[in-house]
Structure 1
Amino acid sequence: MGKTGLHAKIGLIILLIILLVSCNAIKRVPEAKTLLTKSTILIDSASPRDPRVNTLPVLQPNQKVLGIPLRLHIYNLARPHRDSIYLKWMQDHPKGLKRRNAILSEKQTMGLGQSLVDFNNWLKRTGEAPALIDDVAIDKSKERLRAWYWNQGWFNTAVDHKVIDSKNKKRARIEYYVTKNQPYKIDSITTQIATPIIDSLYQLVKSESILKNGEQYFTPDINAERDRLNSYFRNHGAFHMEKENIRFEGDTVQTNQRANITLIIKDREVQDGDSTITVPYRVHKISEVNIIPDYQNATSNNVADTSGYENYNILRFGKRKYKKSTLTDAIFFHKGDVYRDIDRDRTYRRITELQSFLYPTIRYDADPRDSTGTDLIANVLLTSKKKFEFTYGVEATHSNIQAIGVGLNTSLLIRNLFRGSELLDISFRGNIGASTNAATGDSRFFDLQELGADARLSFPRLFLPFRLDNLIPKYMSPSTNFSVGFFSQTNIGLDKQSLNGALTYNWRQTAIKSTRLDLVNAQYVRNLDPSNFFNVYQSSYGSINDLANDLNINDPTYVNDSGNLTIPEGTTAFINDAIAGNLGADAAQREIIRNVRERRNRLSQNNLIISSSYSWTRNNRVGIYDDDFSRFNLRIEAAGNVLSGISSLAGINKNDNNRRRVFGVEYSQYIKTEIDYIKHWQYVNNHVLAIRAFGGIAIPYSNSDNIPFIRSFFAGGPNDNRAWQAYELGPGKTGGLNDFNEANMKLAFNVEYRFPISGAFKGAVFADVGNIYNVLDIEDDPDAIFNNISDLEYLALGTGAGLRYDFGFFVLRFDMGFKTYNPALEENRRWLKEFKISKSVLNVGINYPF
């Protein structure tokens, strides 16, 4: 984009802002009405400590962006009665209508009028009607303020208000004055529990009550105590207990700001004919458990094939698809157990996790054989999903490597493979594309190919030769995954082939804590065309090509007619001869060439990685719309130790590099640790503050002096430091000299403030801090190495703003990042020297970065 075009766009934006600001905010305010410009709340003459209080008034000023009521101005651009105005114009200007019909057809003329009406309605929907002061709304607002503090124990709260006119006509602000007075505290807690067995259960957990004598009355505590008791009773046999039957009443009459609380639980009400009677609650137990695995086939004409297994009755209406143990292992209640909600909920969850059934139905019926009315028959009704499920998808891609690409993804899911609710997922993916340059030398349009296949076999249990039920019980949802995969790239980079396999165990200790153990994770990566290195890594080629020019190399052994090193013959010969001292390079130049050779050898070498890893996660997020949560993840990976032991026992000798080879490849050996923490705080009106902290380090040892590229860290990109492109930042203060910069240590810290703009449009401002470093590996560039705490000064800072559109099931994100502090620049130029549009980075992403 030229400067003229850029200046024109900036000028247009400024003009639009001026037009909106210059709009009359009270343009659509009716006569005898007043626009609310500000709402202030004073609690005992001070601002409220809790920001949620400011959202309580029903009457709120129009939303503002940078102090401007933008949506109000948009609304004011709309005409109140655009449809009737256009019809009146046609009636009052017949000649003008005739001229317009001569240019447009009558249908087009009407269509133009409808378009104007539609656009007018769009302005109204996008905008926001003026917030008008209303006495009824003020009274509702005062009542909400009074109720808010009443629920926190200030029963004598008084609320007053004042409407303060502005100097400008038809504008005013409202001030609310809240006087809380003396709070009430809990003085005593008594009970009126009609059913003796419920009273006995209460006495067992009375000491654990959330309500404490002497503490201030707080309605949320009352609700929490009701929830606690209801859960406790229902998990100890009170099948018919409902939360609505548990009530708390407070006596505050002439108690000197003391609240006497009474817990009331009446007997259960049941319908008896046309009348309602009360009966005591009972503690119910399960007398029988029936499992019906194909309930959709159960009809009056079918006779069930009933069999028993571990005190369960399995009723089949068709062939036996599932092993008995598979069905019973998913049930958490047994014959003779006292009824518990937690057992029912765990059963729902476990059956759903099997992915072999539709959502189950669990029905409890009174046992007709029991005269006491306490026995329940539990019926688990299951409907099988289809055994085979085939999916496919086609996608188009574009990247800096592919001008255009077309991909096909297919997947075949086979359920209940061995009658144990196992899942076999086989997927294939392929892609053909056209390269963005002619480096491949292929004359075909679609000269790039990718092909991959994966297979994963999942077991709903720990697949081990021994049992760990005491350590990892089945309510932790243990599972085992075996996976293998193959992937091949042609005419892309160095042309890779990779083969991988893994044995993974997963379990969940609690609803928010989970563990993953990769007992074995093996990956073999083979580069088919390492001679293409300098075509792919242009910065490395540029480094040695510039040196060849500085040394006046013109021998056709090394260079072409243009004086540039040929690939690969010229580059290989130049590197070898220059390091050998045959081309007159000085010590510094030879060091640069050695570094390029080392990078080439490292990035073009084949990799064999066999590792084990442990990952522990704590995530208290409830659903995708929960914006008040935290997530912590710790991961530890160790690679090469098993191969080291086997190769040592097998007597495999070390090569000239003091490394051992397995299958002709120097296997990788390292230990790697990552810590990732995310925290979200949700404020009023869907404002969210999100932070992230990440730290990772991978240390090579024994058979390795560096970390494989596929296991290293990089910085920059739409989910990291958004002021730099991916792989562009670092290491240290080197300034991203290579095409793909990576290292074995990373620090990243992000903070983002998100806020609504209009409807599905959201905004954000952010700051990203981070960098990558080399530590305890082969790198010898001091600018890239982390030596001590003082090297934290090379953490880069990017700041910016973003615009997002929430489609509901995903978010389309645009973030503009500015280099605020660039450690690669000279020390006196690092701050704000690149804080400009021309140096910014536009990131496009799906969903939020963290």
Structure 2
Amino acid sequence: MNEPSYAQQNEEFTTEEISADEEDGVVRRLRFTGNRNASNRALTTLVRTRTNREFLGIRRFTPWYYIWQVFGVGESPSLLNREVVANDIERIKLFYENLGFFEVEVDTSIIEFRENRYEVSFLIREGPESSIRTVSYTGLPELENENLLRNFYRNSVFSGHMLNDSTFSHNSRYRAQQLREEQTRIINFLKNEGFASVVRDSVRALLRRDSDDPTTIDVLFAIRPGDIYTFGDIQINLSGPEGGDEFDESETKEGPPHALEGYAIRMQKQNKAQTHFDLLTEQIHFKPGDTFDQSAYLRSINSFQNLGNVLINRFGLSEDSSLPDFSESVIPVYFDLQTIPKHSLRAEFFGMRRYGFGTGAGANYTNNNVFGMAENLNFGLNTSFEFVSSRTLSEIAPRDTTGRRTSSGAAIFQSYEVRAEYSVPRLNFPFTFLTGSRFVESARTRYTLTYSQSNQLFFDINSDIRFNLRYEFRHSSRYTSLFDLLELDIVDTNPSDQFRQNLINEFGEGSFEFLRIEQDFNPQFSSIIRYTFRSQNTHLIKRDFGHFAEFSLSLAGNIPYAIDRYISNPGEIEGSLPSPFGLSSNDLSYSRFIKFSSDYRRYIPLTQNSVLAFRAFGGIAQPIGDSETIPLNRRFFAGGSNDIRGWNPFRLGPGAISPDDLSIPGGEIKLAFFKEYRTIFLRDVFNAQWFLAWHTDAGNVWYGPRNTFRDEDDVELLRDGKFFLDSFYKQLAVGSGFGIRLDWEFIVFRFDLTYRVHDLQEGWLENRLPYFSFGIGHSF
């Protein structure tokens, strides 16, 4: 006797014929029942039958659909398509079978609860869940290196207790995804050991159910590795920017050290390529005649891609890009490359907002291949102008006799930067020995020299000269290390006229307090050695999945300290150095300090159209030795469109100190937390996706424990700005609001309106003024 279907057992649902052809109704409700081992969210993402997008997850609140009904723009109705529903049944079944529910049953109920308004329900009976008891391997080739076999088992997805030399005891849930991952791992392992002909059919997972308990499965990976192959000759063709099949020069490198005996690297190029043959051979991570190694082959491809001056038009293991000829034991390798134009000139115009609204322009010249070895030379010039209103300037203006702050009017802040950078796609001294290391997928050495001037609210940077020597190590597509071996910086600043007059009025010119604050604006000489580790698996423009993390540790001031102690005035430490080349009439002060910062960002897709983003930032800078302060341009600051919105740049903190009473800007400790929810509400308007965003930012900066500033009566003047474990959380400024994102494929425009939820001077929900901010790209 046939057992009734699951839908028939649930008489409250009316199952209709899937083959009916009605597509004029709107899907307003989508339900899943019986799904104990799969979340509604997972199944909603899986199926193609959907309701219109709900705002903030509020059931059936679909404002974009309502806008479409009234104005004809927004989101069109999500119509019922019974063929799609039928396909969704198969998707759900396959989903459950991949989770080990091989007896799953799925049916549907489609109810018209109002005219042309439908509820679609998927009725699921999961059945018993299967588990994997053991995982075994058979057919593995004999390997000369026993460590390879041990590593093979150690790196297994199912590694654990071994029952014998080829069987693991697993005793865990069945997951088809794990079997696929293990299959891919086995294939890659074999290809890296010379078995180039291995394909997916060469590695099969055979399942055997227990006769007494059918939900218990033993897995056997049956492996047919095939023959071992070797790399044949390498053929590299390099054309100029205009391409073509005719070449002007050729060179062949036969035998050691570039190839084994009887093998060769053959190259030909056009004169317009302006590239040395040695550059091409440096990118090859294997030798013709070596045993085939897929990882070395892929690393060679990545090396060409990372040069920066060539494009890969074709690569392969056959001359016509077809499948390799596995009837021969030798596999030749082919690369067809093309150089990009050597010279390029780019101009750009941009908008900005720091203290007011401004605009700027820049020009960059690039030589992509200076000496024929993929060296890159770049010269850049950027300048900007920013209108700052009298209201903003009045925040730091001197008080009049009535105690009110008055400003002489608006101002134009100007800044410019000249930059020169020379980089090579390899590691120079002292890290040359790491070239070709397995943990370095690609590398680059950069030499950068910049000169800049700018106006700030509290101070002006008269000149900032910086030299940086950086080594970049790309470990994988996810992990990168940046090592700044040498960064030298000479910065000459002075307080803005209004800020200086305000300090004189408050403390008196020549007072102890005024002279102490003025030290912050003395010319500074700093040296830094810094290591940064970065992990990322997100799209750097879209930022709609994955994460971004960066950790940085810096040690500063040791070079000027050594000059002061051993060269400038041997035996004595003065804490300052004479200005080199007459760059400043004042001596250069310096500070020794250590600085650490961490920045973690997480992007969680909630639906196909919305994402929830989080960011946490923490940093601390601590003077060491006889130093007591951190240089002004090395401190932490808070506020701005890319930081804690609702406050202008540099206008938040330290601690609970009011901007009106601020005497020493910046802090040595910073904590910040950010949240942003983004959802699409308009599609393809001006070729952009329009996002509505709700953001909340919180944080502040504080003075560190060694930053002391006492007046002549030994009263601590910075206490309200210092970090104390029992009170810092009360000094977290909070801003929240809404914004719009215009997302093109290559750029994002951002507009935000923020309210100060917690204004440190006025309290919680007391400041009702909105603060507008504009930015390019997502704020984090």
TM-superposed deviation, 1:42? 2.0
Task: Give the counterpart of 2:342 among 366, 387, 408.
Answer: 387
Structure of higher RCO (CA pairs closer than 8 Å, 6+ residues apart): 2
Per the alignment, in what secondary structure is the counterpart of residue 64 of structure 2?
A: helix
Output the CA distance in 1 between the equivalents of 2:132 and 2:544: 34
Matched, 1:313 2:229: no
Per the alignment, in what secondary structure is the counterpart of residue 608 of structure 2?
A: helix
Checking the alignment, whether the CA contact within 8 Å between 2:461 and 2:491 is kept in structure 1 is: no
After superposition, residues 66-81 of structure 1 pair within 5 angstroms as 67-77=60-70
Task: Give the counterpart of 1:642 among 553, 559, 563.
Answer: 559
**Alignment-derived partner of residue 331 in structure 1:** 284
Checking the alignment, whether the CA contact within 8 Å between 1:52 and 1:684 is kept in structure 2 is: no
- Flag the 1:305–1:515 CA change in 2: closer, same or farther, 3 A: closer
TM-superposed deviation, 1:146? 2.5
Deviations 1:758-804 (A, max 9, x none): 32222333322211100111443211111334333212222333322
Per the alignment, in what secondary structure is the counterpart of residue 468 of structure 1?
A: helix
TM-superposed deviation, 1:501? 1.0
Output the CA distance in 1 between the equivalents of 2:108 and 2:337: 60
**Alignment-derived partner of residue 128 in structure 1:** 76
Checking the alignment, whether the CA contact within 8 Å between 1:667 and 1:703 is kept in structure 2 is: no
- Flag the 1:246–1:510 CA change in 2: closer, same or farther, 3 A: same
**Alignment-derived partner of residue 681 in structure 1:** 604
After superposition, residues 490-529 of structure 1 pair within 5 angstroms as 494=460, 496-527=462-493
Structure 2 residue identity aligned to 1:49:
S
Deviations 1:661-697 (A, max 9, x none): 3322112332221121222222332432222111111
Checking the alignment, whether the CA contact within 8 Å between 1:472 and 1:478 is kept in structure 2 is: no
Deviations 1:387-432 (A, max 9, x none): 322333355667647x76553x332222333343222212233457
Checking the alignment, whether the CA contact within 8 Å between 1:74 and 1:128 is kept in structure 2 is: no
Structure 1 residue identity aligned to 2:191:
R
Output the CA distance in 2 between the equivalents of 1:329 and 1:31: 64
**Alignment-derived partner of residue 799 in structure 1:** 736
**Alignment-derived partner of residue 181 in structure 1:** 127
Output the CA distance in 2 between the equivalents of 1:833 and 1:516: 44
Structure 2 residue identity aligned to 1:767:
T
Structure 2 residue identity aligned to 1:42:
T
TM-superposed deviation, 1:346? 0.9
- Flag the 1:606–1:344 CA change in 2: closer, same or farther, 3 A: same
Checking the alignment, whether the CA contact within 8 Å between 1:816 and 1:843 is kept in structure 2 is: yes
Structure 1 residue identity aligned to 2:476:
T
Structure 2 residue identity aligned to 1:785:
K
Output the CA distance in 2 between the equivalents of 1:717 and 1:820: 16
Output the CA distance in 2 between the equivalents of 1:778 and 1:302: 71
Tell me whether 179-188 or 300-309 shows the greater mean CA deviation: 300-309
Output the CA distance in 2 between the equivalents of 1:394 and 1:36: 47
After superposition, residues 559-598 of structure 1 pair within 5 angstroms as 575-576=509-510, 579=511, 595=513, 598=516
TM-superposed deviation, 1:282? 2.4
TM-superposed deviation, 1:374? 0.4
After superposition, residues 204-283 of structure 1 pair within 5 angstroms as 205=152, 209-210=156-157, 214-243=171-200, 246-248=203-205, 250=207, 256-259=214-217, 261=219, 263=221, 281-283=226-228
Output the CA distance in 1 between the equivalents of 2:598 and 2:231: 46
Q: Pick the structure with more helix per residue.
A: 1
Deviations 1:128-183 (A, max 9, x none): 22544x654544433332322122111111234445664x6554534433221112
- Flag the 1:187–1:469 CA change in 2: closer, same or farther, 3 A: closer
TM-superposed deviation, 1:738? 5.7
Output the CA distance in 1 between the equivalents of 2:67 and 2:387: 45
TM-superposed deviation, 1:518? 1.3
Per the alignment, in what secondary structure is the counterpart of residue 720 of structure 2?
A: coil
Tell me whether 752-761 or 638-647 shows the greater mean CA deviation: 752-761
- Flag the 1:62–1:499 CA change in 2: closer, same or farther, 3 A: closer
**Alignment-derived partner of residue 269 in structure 1:** none
Task: Give the counterpart of 1:286 among 218, 231, 237.
Answer: 231
Checking the alignment, whether the CA contact within 8 Å between 1:608 and 1:666 is kept in structure 2 is: yes
Checking the alignment, whether the CA contact within 8 Å between 2:249 and 2:270 is kept in structure 1 is: no
- Flag the 1:523–1:635 CA change in 2: closer, same or farther, 3 A: same
TM-score calculated relative to the size of structure 1: 0.72
- Flag the 1:136–1:464 CA change in 2: closer, same or farther, 3 A: closer
- Flag the 1:484–1:648 CA change in 2: closer, same or farther, 3 A: same
Output the CA distance in 2 between the equivalents of 1:430 and 1:821: 35
Output the CA distance in 2 between the equivalents of 1:194 and 1:606: 68
Structure 2 residue identity aligned to 1:784:
G
**Alignment-derived partner of residue 376 in structure 1:** 331
**Alignment-derived partner of residue 563 in structure 1:** none
Output the CA distance in 1 between the equivalents of 2:287 and 2:253: 16
Structure 2 residue identity aligned to 1:843:
S
Structure 1 residue identity aligned to 2:509:
I
Per the alignment, in what secondary structure is the counterpart of residue 561 of structure 2?
A: helix
Output the CA distance in 2 between the equivalents of 1:516 and 1:800: 35
Structure 2 residue identity aligned to 1:644:
Y
Deviations 1:700-744 (A, max 9, x none): 345643222211111122222223222221111113336894212
- Flag the 1:224–1:72 CA change in 2: closer, same or farther, 3 A: same
Tell me whether 315-324 or 728-737 shows the greater mean CA deviation: 315-324
Output the CA distance in 1 between the equivalents of 2:470 and 2:638: 28
Checking the alignment, whether the CA contact within 8 Å between 2:388 and 2:413 is kept in structure 1 is: yes
Task: Give the counterpart of 1:469 among 434, 453, 457.
Answer: 434
Matched, 1:150 2:97: yes
**Alignment-derived partner of residue 311 in structure 2:** 358
Per the alignment, in what secondary structure is the counterpart of residue 156 of structure 1?
A: coil
TM-superposed deviation, 1:842? 2.1
Task: Give the counterpart of 1:727 among 642, 650, 655.
Answer: 650
TM-superposed deviation, 1:318? 5.4
Tell me whether 718-727 or 317-326 shows the greater mean CA deviation: 317-326
After superposition, residues 40-79 of structure 1 pair within 5 angstroms as 40-43=31-34, 48-49=38-39, 51-65=41-55, 67-77=60-70
Query: Unpaired runs of 5+ in structure 2?
Result: 1-20, 159-167, 394-409, 580-586, 684-688, 710-716
Tell me whether 55-64 or 806-815 shows the greater mean CA deviation: 55-64
TM-superposed deviation, 1:184? 2.5
TM-superposed deviation, 1:509? 3.0
Residues matched between the structures, number: 692
- Flag the 1:602–1:328 CA change in 2: closer, same or farther, 3 A: same
**Alignment-derived partner of residue 411 in structure 1:** 364
Structure 2 residue identity aligned to 1:376:
I
Per the alignment, in what secondary structure is the counterpart of residue 333 of structure 1?
A: coil
TM-superposed deviation, 1:624? 4.8
Checking the alignment, whether the CA contact within 8 Å between 1:298 and 1:317 is kept in structure 2 is: no
Structure 1 residue identity aligned to 2:773:
N
Per the alignment, in what secondary structure is the counterpart of residue 765 of structure 2?
A: strand
- Flag the 1:191–1:788 CA change in 2: closer, same or farther, 3 A: closer
Whose radius of gyration is greater, 1 or 2?
Answer: 1
TM-superposed deviation, 1:822? 3.0
**Alignment-derived partner of residue 3 in structure 1:** none
TM-score calculated relative to the size of structure 2: 0.78
**Alignment-derived partner of residue 691 in structure 2:** 762
Matched, 1:847 2:771: no
Structure 1 residue identity aligned to 2:43:
V
Output the CA distance in 2 between the equivalents of 1:246 and 1:452: 58
Matched, 1:814 2:737: no
Query: Unpaired runs of 5+ in structure 1?
Result: 1-29, 79-122, 267-279, 440-444, 548-570, 580-593
Per the alignment, in what secondary structure is the counterpart of residue 804 of structure 1?
A: strand
- Flag the 1:742–1:626 CA change in 2: closer, same or farther, 3 A: closer
After superposition, residues 541-690 of structure 1 pair within 5 angstroms as 541-542=501-502, 545=505, 575-576=509-510, 579=511, 595=513, 598-599=516-517, 601-621=518-538, 624-625=541-542, 627-650=544-567, 652=569, 659-663=575-579, 664-690=587-613
Structure 1 residue identity aligned to 2:366:
L
Structure 2 residue identity aligned to 1:841:
Y
Q: CA RMSD in A?
A: 4.1
Checking the alignment, whether the CA contact within 8 Å between 1:351 and 1:360 is kept in structure 2 is: no
- Flag the 1:405–1:73 CA change in 2: closer, same or farther, 3 A: closer
Output the CA distance in 2 between the equivalents of 1:651 and 1:301: 59
- Flag the 1:820–1:326 CA change in 2: closer, same or farther, 3 A: same
Per the alignment, in what secondary structure is the counterpart of residue 338 of structure 1?
A: coil
**Alignment-derived partner of residue 304 in structure 1:** 250
TM-superposed deviation, 1:347? 0.9
